[in-house]
Amino acid sequence: MDTASYVVLAAGTNVWGPLGAFIGGLVIAGALVAAVLVGIRVMRQEPDRPTEAEQPHLPVTGAIHEISEMREPDEVHPDEGERLMPYELHASGSRRKPDQHRRRWSPGSSGSFGGGGGGRT
């Protein structure tokens, strides 16, 4: 803007519009500065980041490999007719299956329910 437009704004009867916009801008800028200062204060109160020595490391024996086994569910209703109490169940709700061989697809089976195959004959 040039000086003539400032003179027109200053001489006009509508002084409150630009003044209100300027004061509103100052309020918003002040709120943003206050938010940044509060964020810095919160970050200073947080605990320090862990050092390299505090980070988890691999065991001396090396990486632990995944174990895959066949499981079968625990019986919830035993043959005696009495129900099992929660303290009588295992933590995982299943136990290791005696037969650890995985069931495989056999020729002649459809592979899925409704798959359109002939199924087992």
Please write the tens of the pLDDT for every residue from 46-101: 998 889 889 888 888 888 888 888 888 876 666 667 777 777 776 776 778 888 88
- Residue 94, SS3 per DSSP: strand
Which region among 1-5, 27-31, 55-59, 115-119 has the lowest average model confidence (pLDDT)? 115-119
Cα–Cα distance for residue pair 78/76, rounded to 1 Å:
6
Distance CA 29, CA 78 (A): 71
* Ranges 24-33, 72-81, 111-120: which has the least confidence: 111-120
φ, ψ dihedrals at 42, nearest 5°: -65, -40
Distances (CA, A) of 20 to 8, 17, 70: 17, 5, 74
| CA–CA gap between residue 71 and residue 52 (Å, rounded) | 40
